[in-house]
Amino acid sequence: MVSSFTTWSFMLVVILISTIETRAFTNTNIKTINTKHRHRSNTNIALFVEPEIIAGAVVAAGGAILWLSGAEVRENKAKYAEWEAKELKYQEERRKLAYIEPRDVWKEEELTPYDGSDDTGPILLAVKGDVFNVWKGRNFYGKGAEYEIMSGRDATRFLAKNKLDEESDEERSVELNIGERANLEAWYWIIKNKYQYVGRLDAYDPKSTDLKNAKEGDAQQSQFPDGENPWDKF
């Protein structure tokens, strides 16, 4: 690209110089100032080039150089515009394939078919009683992705505990402590502001996640599962 640009610039300058020389020659006043011999004379030739010719040549050369140097920029802009149009079309097709009709209420078992198994379909999960279509995060919630365990179900406790493992029946019987509920709030607002809301989860109990209903001592219990604070001995 640089070699091509240099070649074109050189050719342009040569053409412009040739034009100036031609114009200058036709407008030259030739004056003989000293003749010493009959058959031989020394002649000084003065070339008078019109100033507007020089100015025009400089402007033309500068404009041509700018035009040539901007050719790569224009080419890159055209390529980007083409890519952007294709990307927008692709995203619109994905959106249509992943669309699901919102409902007033979803039962948890109705979320199961939308667990990301379909590479192009919707992916549903529930957080704090709200159901979201998280298809835009397929690289997180799709099959084989890091958070696939949360898809097609109520993901509330996974998010609250920052865990990606199934809980035992005994673990599920323990209410969320105040720290876990606070953590859940942060996750809830991230998901709510990023993904499409499609309805409410049936049989959800707000008291199970509400910060106001966290029992006193829950935070301490999360730090010391056996309920005993070793520092109380001192």
Phi-psi label, residue 40: left if phi above 0, alpha if psi -120 to 50, beta otherwise: beta
What is the model's pTM? Answer: 0.61
Distance, CA of 23 to CA of 138 (rounded, Å): 70
Tokens found for residue 179: 């720290």
Q: Which amino acid is at 12?
A: L
Please tell me which of 24-33, 47-56, 86-95, 208-217 the model is most confident about, judged by mean pLDDT.
Answer: 86-95
According to DSSP, residue 177 is labeled: -
Give 150-190 pLDDT, tens digit per residue: 999 999 999 999 999 999 999 999 999 999 999 999 999 99
Residue type, 197: Y
